[in-house]
Amino acid sequence: MDIAVYMADVGQQARKAATAVARSTTAVRNQALLATAEALDASRNELAAANARDLEHGRSSGLDDAMLDRLELTPARIDAMIEGLRQVASLPDPIGEITDMTYRPSGIQVGRMRVPLGVIGIIYESRPNVTVEAASLCLKSGNATILRGGSEAIHSNQAIAECLARGLSDAGLPGNAVQVIKTTDRAAVGELITMPRFVDVIVPRGGKGLIERISRDARVPVIKHLDGICHVYIDSHADPEKALAVALNSKTQRYGTCNTMETLLVDQEIASDILPLLAEAFREKGVELRGCEQTVQILPDVAAATEEDWATEYLAPILAVKVVDGLDGAIAHINCYSSQHTDSIITENFTRARRFLTEVDSASVMVNASTRFADGFEYGLGAEIGISTDKIHARGPVGLEGLTSQKYVVFGDGHIRT
Amino acid sequence: MDIAVYMADVGQQARKAATAVARSTTAVRNQALLATAEALDASRNELAAANARDLEHGRSSGLDDAMLDRLELTPARIDAMIEGLRQVASLPDPIGEITDMTYRPSGIQVGRMRVPLGVIGIIYESRPNVTVEAASLCLKSGNATILRGGSEAIHSNQAIAECLARGLSDAGLPGNAVQVIKTTDRAAVGELITMPRFVDVIVPRGGKGLIERISRDARVPVIKHLDGICHVYIDSHADPEKALAVALNSKTQRYGTCNTMETLLVDQEIASDILPLLAEAFREKGVELRGCEQTVQILPDVAAATEEDWATEYLAPILAVKVVDGLDGAIAHINCYSSQHTDSIITENFTRARRFLTEVDSASVMVNASTRFADGFEYGLGAEIGISTDKIHARGPVGLEGLTSQKYVVFGDGHIRT
């Protein structure tokens, strides 16, 4: 197979289908989502068989247990895919909304209409349920999608693709509105990210290495999510109970997520009072602390942090702890080491909260709340295609709106410019 | 001079200054704009002298008259720069606006705060007044700026840069908040567009060749404006008077602008009635018509258009004319040949207007209005850094809002995720 020819054809088909999807009504797109859910439910045997092939091949080629776990389509995961499709169908349709319509002195009316982006390319790793999740969000927001999952999930993804095709067909939408790439050749990714004629935006989902590589080589815009080095700063005016609860929750509610706290900052005015309490709480949870010089003076059992610790996303029960010189010290540290994902201040002081919100340059800034809230569902977006650490287009959790754009609409009555 | 070292230093200084600008109050940024206006007013002699050097050098190196005209800083153009600064100062400050603040079921409040992008790189050609215009919009929206103007304007731009530095200093802002690159070496552009650590977005202003080159080589997001192949479609249900007025205005109010109509589409049902009237009106204005086969049948004097005409941005008194098979034919032609800039339908039919608005995938879609209205000032943006033909981030005329982003703000009272 000539990959460049194949991908150009996929792109061309997607572009064509995108027009049909963009013109389709809310009801039609919802019908496609619900019919896909039914097709998945009716295809449990086929899905299990395809997934078994992937798992077998994965085991024989030496995939580790974590990878095999992500690859597996258990009945519960199929249930979750079906439920996810129904949820996306029930979300409000973002497309077509006209806002800010106002009269201008010239007499024309000017407003903005929300429209799909067009064709969205999704590149992800082994989890086959991402196929349904990403396709459903793109379809709901009126876009065509080209999906490129990990090669180890190729049979599972093709089985899911068949269900998507049946769902689209049931609603009278072109099957090419969602295309799952049929080859495992890595050259397909290289083509997908360099076809601005056919692809409007790329959303990579996976490890930092994958995302950096794609961002570097892409010739189309990328909505990207790099690392989450999130901070909680406990101010001297913090309520100690809230501080303990939020710090503990930000670190220990889940260790492996991007919105987990990786560095705890403590105001030096209260460090000797609160650090022993925090250390005790984290010890109970089995979290290893790594402290700055001042932290180690207060907590002699704690190992010394190195410069590298401040810049590390552990995704593990390890926490870097630093004593800082008040709010200025905290903001300076965060704006130097934060990955601009999510940072939270714990304080009862209005002025300090206000300064933190303004001066911390991160996608989510919080007051007296756990960093773990930085999530599309918790924010009320209804769904999440990813969390953007970019500043352009979409910042923070990206829901349906991030897969759309706004065009200007102008109404006149034969108006001309003079 | 080692260009890479110099540009990295410029970038680092800009990044540092961006923090100070982002934290500055509305009043301080406005003061910097007004003080720059005063500095320009007080430096008319220095500006004239610097500009004379550029003009002299331009003449001796054989620049054409159009180029020399764009390069010239007449007293009227200095007046316009001063007036522009005052106007930007009087615009509302977009920064810090918090919107959509709502309670979530978890009890947290979530909203969005408008924030600067950070560091904006502007690359433009010979007109030195762009230096002031671009710098003022970036500063107003809380960003630091790195400006790279055409090498033929280097002395004029440096003289303007001194006025900007005085304005910034007067307001207590760091001088590096606006940096005008001091070298004419083209390698500086290559560095500027490949420093994602220091530059958040590039706005190129100039010809299509420049913009395509920059988009291709950039490693940071580009807000780009390619060509404007704009259409007016006269539907069979159009009011003929409005149709004539809008078509004439869209083409002839100015020939050289991106929102000028380049192709006129006419519904075949009314082609033989309205084309002779249109031809007469355009003949009076000295506009050359190039028609499709059916057009030439109705207007035998008109030259035949080639395939290339449909894809050409003339920027001249030339107009391509095509008879189409109703609304479907018009939409098909537009979505094939339009540069997705601005397209307008002339019709009294509600359903056709509604379909045109939905199905034409352009940054501005209009009903019964001249394409010449596609402009930041006409749309009420107060200012315009450019017109984006991209879909991501900003589409259509880009004002101050396009130079900003939104971050999430979360308020809690010790809330944790369960």
pLDDT of residue A374: 96
The pairing of strands B109-116 and B404-415 is antiparallel
Name which of A373, A375, A387 to mutate to probe chain B: the one with the most chain B Cβ atoms within 10 A of its Cβ.
A373
A26 in a structural domain: yes
Q: How far is A132 from chain B (nearest CA, A)?
A: 24
What burial class does residue A209 get, using C-beta atoms within 10 Å of its C-beta: 0-12 exposed, 13-18 middle, 19+ buried?
exposed
Q: How far is B348 from chain A (nearest CA, A)?
A: 9
Q: Which residue in A102, A367, A417 is closest to B372 by CB distance?
A: A417
Q: With a cut of 50, which residues of chain A have pLDDT below it?
A: none
Handedness of CA B262, B265, B270, B275 (dihedral sign): positive
| Chain A contact present for B397, CB below 8 A | yes
Tell which B residues from 38 to 97 touch A, by Cβ distance under 8 Å: 96
What is the three-class DSSP state of B139? Answer: helix
pLDDT of residue A204: 93
pLDDT of residue A244: 98
Q: Give residue-wise pLDDT tens across range B90-145.
A: 999 999 999 999 999 999 999 999 999 999 999 998 899 999 999 999 999 999 99
d(CA A376, CA B278): 54
d(CA A28, CA A269): 60
d(CA B14, CA B27): 21
**Structure token pair of residue B205:** 């202003």
pLDDT of residue B209: 87
Residues A32 and A119 in one domain: yes
| Chain A contact present for B249, CB below 8 A | yes
ipTM: 0.93
Residues B143 and B287 in one domain: no
d(CA A176, CA A90): 23
Q: Which CATH number characterizes residue B146's domain? A: 3.40.605.10
Residues B323 and B357 in one domain: yes
Contacts with A378 from chain B: Cβ below 8 Å: 104, 106, 108, 110, 417
Contacts with B408 from chain A: Cβ below 8 Å: 363-365, 374, 379, 395-397
A378 in a structural domain: no
Residues A213 and A237 in one domain: no
d(CA B221, CA B403): 12
pLDDT of residue B208: 83
| Chain A contact present for B406, CB below 8 A | yes
d(CA B126, CA A370): 51
Q: What percent of chain B has pLDDT over 90?
A: 91
A294 in a structural domain: yes
A372 with A259: CB under 8 angstroms? yes
Contacts with B200 from chain A: Cβ below 8 Å: 391-392
Q: How far is B221 from chain A (nearest CA, A)?
A: 7
Is residue A43 within a helix (H) or strand (E), and if so which, with residue range?
A: none
B387 in a structural domain: no
Q: Give residue-wise pLDDT tens across range B253-291.
A: 999 999 999 999 999 999 999 999 999 999 999 999 999
Residues B114 and B139 in one domain: yes
Q: Say if residue B242's pLDDT is above 90.
A: yes
A415 with A106: CB under 8 angstroms? yes
Residues A359 and A296 in one domain: yes
Is residue B188 within a helix (H) or strand (E), and if so which, with residue range?
A: helix B187-192
Tell which B residues from 118 to 177 touch A, by Cβ distance under 8 Å: 118
d(CA B300, CA B317): 19
Handedness of CA B339, B341, B346, B347 (dihedral sign): positive
A90 in a structural domain: yes
pLDDT of residue B70: 92
pLDDT of residue B65: 92
B151 in a structural domain: yes
Q: Which residue in B241, B366, B407 is closest to A396 by CB distance?
A: B407
DSSP A196-235: TTT-SEEEEES-HHHHHHHHHH-SS-B-------EEEEE-
Residues B134 and B156 in one domain: yes
Q: Model pTM? A: 0.92
pLDDT of residue A1: 80
Q: What percent of chain B has pLDDT over 70?
A: 100
pLDDT of residue A138: 97
| Chain B contact present for A414, CB below 8 A | yes
| Mean pLDDT in residue range B381-393 | 88
DSSP B268-293: HHHHHHHHHHHHHHHHHTTPEEEE-H
d(CA A51, CA A59): 12
Residues A303 and A194 in one domain: no
Phi, then psi, of B63 in degrees rounded to 5 = -60, 145
Phi, then psi, of A347 in degrees rounded to 5 = -160, 155
What is the three-class DSSP state of B33? Answer: helix
A389 in a structural domain: no
| Chain B contact present for A365, CB below 8 A | yes
Relative orientation angle of helices B75-90 and B26-42, to the nearest 10 degrees? 170
Contact A368 B335 (CB under 8 A): no
Contacts with A97 from chain B: Cβ below 8 Å: none
B391 with A118: CB under 8 angstroms? yes
A90 with A71: CB under 8 angstroms? no
Residues A174 and A126 in one domain: yes
Residue B376 CB neighbours (<10 A): 20
Residues B137 and B98 in one domain: yes
DSSP A245-288: HHHHHHHHS-SSSTTSEEEEEEEHHHHHHHHHHHHHHHHHTTPE
A110 in a structural domain: yes
Q: Give residue-wise pLDDT tens across range B285-319.
A: 999 999 999 999 999 999 999 999 999 999 999 99
Residues A192 and A235 in one domain: no
| Chain A contact present for B16, CB below 8 A | no
Residue B413 CB neighbours (<10 A): 13
Q: Give residue-wise pLDDT tens across range B205-233.
A: 888 888 989 988 998 889 988 789 999 99
pLDDT of residue A412: 97
Q: Which CATH number characterizes residue A313's domain? A: 3.40.309.10
Residue A121 CB neighbours (<10 A): 31
Count up the domains in chain A and report the number.
2
Residues A216 and A269 in one domain: no
Q: Find the domain containing A9 and state its range.
A: 3-223+398-410
